[in-house]
Structure 1
Amino acid sequence: MSSPQTILMTGGNRGIGYYTLQALVQSPNPYILILTSRTLSAAEKACSTLSSLPPANPSTTLIPVALDVTSDDSIAALVSRLAELKITKLDALVNNAGIAMDAALRGTNPSPAEIREAFVKTMDTNVAGPHLLTTALLPLLESGDGEPRSRVLFVTSGLGSIEEASKPDSPYAFVDAPAYRSSKAALNMVMVLLGKKIEGKGVNVWACCPGFCVTELGGSDAGKAEMGAKTPEEGAVVIVGILEGRREGDVGKVVNVEGGVEGVYGW
């Protein structure tokens, strides 16, 4: 019987993160799933709900942990908590937690201060947070012999592709979300630079786009399905595929799954 893989998911209490963990709970493979949320109560509630599902593998376990990626103290507390739990190795880190503030500003004639706040908070959560968290967890991800042993995923968006934004016929060309889109373009760069920094240390990196999904990110779910949005279960497919080893040929790229077809976004 194979040993459980240990996976840490940020923002795992709802949306894409939650449904990715649900898919892993229902996988025949064994996992130790560390679910983080900004509050411990939200993480515990999500773990309780997921634990009520019949696991496909009885060895799979869920661990709730509080984490605010915008707080250095919270990141340090997470590292300490993992040590308390005697977790000395991570097989995967999924940087999923993120925010989108642009939608709340549309049609409101926002002030310069409000626009600046949207950029600063979005960049802090979507870029600086994942970078600092990943750096803090590298000792648990790296292997001494350099063999690929672990995976780091950055959940991004096709909206962050400058190539797609430059195409006049792209469905992403005219989506008005400058703070969010800029943050995802920056996150893709974080992924590339991390890949260079840890080359030969046994860690593979990806940025992955779940696509436009019916989640709470960026505002209410209402109307998103009518606009062609995927279910969060469908969006989780690309993350599960990486975690289960089906995208090893796309290391260091921005990957997606659209209409059941695996693809790669340009920069």
Structure 2
Amino acid sequence: MAESSIVLITGGNTGLGYESVKALYASSQAHTILMGSRSLAKATDAIAKLQAEVPGSKSAIVPIQIDIEDDKSIEKAFQKVKSKYGRIDTLVNNAGSTFDSIMLTDPSPSGIRATFNKAYSLNVTSSQVMTHIFAPLLIASSDPRLLFVTSGISSLERNSSDENSNFVRGPPPKGWPKPPVPSQIGYRTSKVALNMIMLEWKKTFKVDGVKVFGISPGFLATNLGGMGPEFLKNMGAADPSIGGHFIRDVVEGKRDEGHGKVINKDGVMPW
């Protein structure tokens, strides 16, 4: 009997993280899924809900407390995983959010700083620290994969086109000051930076056999930024299970041709 793979997913108790755990739990392949969550109680509740939705799984789900903005929390989780398993086969850097609503309500310099600092701290710096600390456990795997959940709106090529600009009501009027627009600029630029981090880890792990991916899951009806699934559905967002199935395919080696790229369910996303 094949040994189950060990998959750690940050932010695994909600949204895309939850759907990724669920897809892996429902897989015909066996996995030990470490559901990372800032709250163990929330992880435990999410696991109970998931197990009721997917009975008879070959896999196991283990809650693990981890706040990726807290280095002590990451170190504690690392030591726990190291002592129990000695490796991880896949790290999914999923935890992240958008804070652009701050800038919409407070377009002053302090609002701009708060938006960007929060986005980069969570989406960029914390993913880098998380990967740095857990790197030894990835290298210990015989078939390791490292995933960074990015976004389709991080594509410079797409955003350079007027047709794909994020001014949902057209460009702002001439003159200054410009009225605030929901462009998600803080979130978008943090995900562009995350794409560069993915490329750097590809180079860093080149001789260690770690396959590294940027994951563009698509526009999904999660609770990103507290906007709520229903609000995003009304804007055309798809069911988040689509992203979960996509991440499962990457974890299970079905998208290895996209190693070192940002990929979506249809192929390689333009830079």
The reply to whether TM is greater than 0.5 is yes
User: Residue 139 of structure 1 aligns with which residue?
Assistant: 136
2:263 is the counterpart of 1:265: no
- For normalisation by structure 2, the TM-score amounts to 0.89
Alignment deviations for residues 160-206 of structure 1 (CA, whole Å, 9 cap, x no partner): 11111112222657660111001000000000001001101021000
Contact 1:69 1:133 survives alignment (8 Å): yes
User: Residue 236 of structure 1 aligns with which residue?
Assistant: 244
Partners of 1:167 and 1:137 lie apart in 2 by: 38
| Matched residue SS, 2:230 | coil
Q: CA deviation at 1:104?
A: 4.5
Distance 1:95 1:263, change over 3 A: same
Please identify runs of 4+ aligned residues in structure 1 that moved more than 4 A: 171-175
Distance 1:15 1:132, change over 3 A: same
Partners of 1:165 and 1:231 lie apart in 2 by: 24
Alignment deviations for residues 36-75 of structure 1 (CA, whole Å, 9 cap, x no partner): 11111111211222233444543x1111011111111111
Contact 2:22 2:244 survives alignment (8 Å): no
User: Residue 217 of structure 2 aligns with which residue?
Assistant: 210
**Residue 96 (structure 1) aligned to one of 91, 94, 97:** 94
Decide which moves more: 164-173 or 88-97: 164-173
**Unaligned segments of structure 1, at least 5 residues:** none
User: Residue 202 of structure 2 aligns with which residue?
Assistant: 195
User: Residue 181 of structure 1 aligns with which residue?
Assistant: 188
Alignment deviations for residues 92-122 of structure 1 (CA, whole Å, 9 cap, x no partner): 000000010113532x243211210111111
Partners of 1:199 and 1:51 lie apart in 2 by: 37
Partners of 1:133 and 1:202 lie apart in 2 by: 19
User: Residue 165 of structure 1 aligns with which residue?
Assistant: 159
Distance 1:5 1:55, change over 3 A: farther
User: Residue 226 of structure 1 aligns with which residue?
Assistant: 234
Contact 1:29 1:57 survives alignment (8 Å): no
Partners of 2:97 and 2:143 lie apart in 1 by: 30
Question: What is the identity, as a one-letter code, of the residue corresponding to 1:188?
Answer: N
Partners of 2:46 and 2:103 lie apart in 1 by: 30
Partners of 1:180 and 1:190 lie apart in 2 by: 15
Alignment deviations for residues 216-244 of structure 1 (CA, whole Å, 9 cap, x no partner): 10222233212211011112232112112
Distance 1:184 1:159, change over 3 A: same
Partners of 2:251 and 2:106 lie apart in 1 by: 42
Q: CA deviation at 1:2?
A: 1.5
Contact 1:210 1:237 survives alignment (8 Å): no
What RMSD in Å do the two structures reach over aligned CA positions? 1.7
Partners of 1:244 and 1:170 lie apart in 2 by: 32
Contact 2:102 2:115 survives alignment (8 Å): no
Partners of 1:222 and 1:103 lie apart in 2 by: 17
Contact 2:98 2:224 survives alignment (8 Å): yes
Partners of 1:159 and 1:199 lie apart in 2 by: 27
% identical equivalent positions: 36
Greater gyration radius: 2
Contact 2:145 2:251 survives alignment (8 Å): yes
Contact 2:4 2:32 survives alignment (8 Å): yes
Distance 1:156 1:88, change over 3 A: same
| Matched residue SS, 2:35 | strand
Q: How does 1:37-186 map to 2 (within 5 A)?
A: 37-58=37-58, 60-84=59-83, 86-106=84-104, 108-143=105-140, 149-170=143-164, 176-186=183-193
Distance 1:173 1:197, change over 3 A: farther
Q: How many residues align?
A: 257
| Matched residue SS, 2:164 | coil
Partners of 1:44 and 1:130 lie apart in 2 by: 23
Q: CA deviation at 1:143?
A: 4.4
| Matched residue SS, 2:114 | helix
Partners of 1:220 and 1:111 lie apart in 2 by: 26
Question: What is the identity, as a one-letter code, of the residue corresponding to 1:242?
Answer: V
